[in-house]
Structure formats: structure tokens, C-alpha cells
Amino acid sequence: MPFVELDTSLPAERLPPGLALTLCNATADILGKPAERVNVTVRSGLPMVLSGSAEPCAQLIVSSIGVVGTAEQNKQHSARFFDVLTAQLGLGPERIVIRFYPLEPWQIGKNRTVMTFL
């Protein structure tokens, strides 16, 4: 059950229509998970500073069980997420940062229990 959160200083009107769904489908493909399990949040128009600059930027946070736990996995995921983000947001890769967080099944609640028991 991946969770993807995109924070950007770009105003909402500069984001492509359907960006959340595009990110959902891209995440499913990149992480090898069903789109029905991917959760996406997009927050725009945020006051942000990246690398000491307030120029337009974005931060992507990717959390998931079992697929973001190693440097080798994240290196591959990073390249693919950067391809999607630079194309969708019109930002250079130097204005985007990605953080990966591995999750354990007991850290995600669903259907009145946690994923461990589903």
C-alpha cells in the first residue's frame, strides 16, 4: 500500500489536470503495486525553499511496504519518478527532491485493523 505525497510551490493552475491520477498510475508502475492500493496527495501553492532558493520546486515523499527499503531499489525508483515529475511539473531535476520511507505492515491501518492481518 504505497503512499505518495507531492508538495510543490507551483500554484494549482500550473499543475496539469489529473496530476494525482497520473502520479497514482506512475507509482503503481514504478513500484510494481496495483493502482487500487496506491494513495496520492497533491498539495500546491506552498511556501517552499529548496537548496536555499525559493524558485519553484517540489518534494515527493514515497512510503511503501517492501519496495523502498534499499539504496538499489530507491536509485531505480528515483530515476523513474524524476522522469514523471520533470515532465508533469516542468521543473528541472535540481528543483525536485524525493524522500523514500519503508513501512512495515503493522504501521498501516485499514478496515479496522492493520495490514499485518489483512
Q: How is the chain split into domains, by residue range?
A: 2-117
Strands across the sheet with 3-8, in order?
39-43, 3-8, 58-65, 96-103
Report the predicted TM-score, pTM, of the whole model to 2 decimal places: 0.95
The one catalytic residue among 2, 17, 93, 102: 2
Confirm whether 2 is a catalytic residue: yes
The predicted pLDDT at position 12 comes to 98
Which of 28, 3, 9 has the alpha carbon at shortest distance from 90?
9
CB-based contact 81:104 (threshold 8 Å): no
The predicted pLDDT at position 52 comes to 98
CB-based contact 111:118 (threshold 8 Å): yes
pLDDT digits (tens, 9 = 90+) for 48-83: 999 999 999 999 999 999 999 999 999 999 999 999
Give the architecture (CATH level 2) of 2-117: 2-Layer Sandwich (3.30)
The predicted pLDDT at position 88 comes to 98
pLDDT digits (tens, 9 = 90+) for 16-39: 999 999 999 999 999 999 999 999
The predicted pLDDT at position 8 comes to 98
The predicted pLDDT at position 99 comes to 98
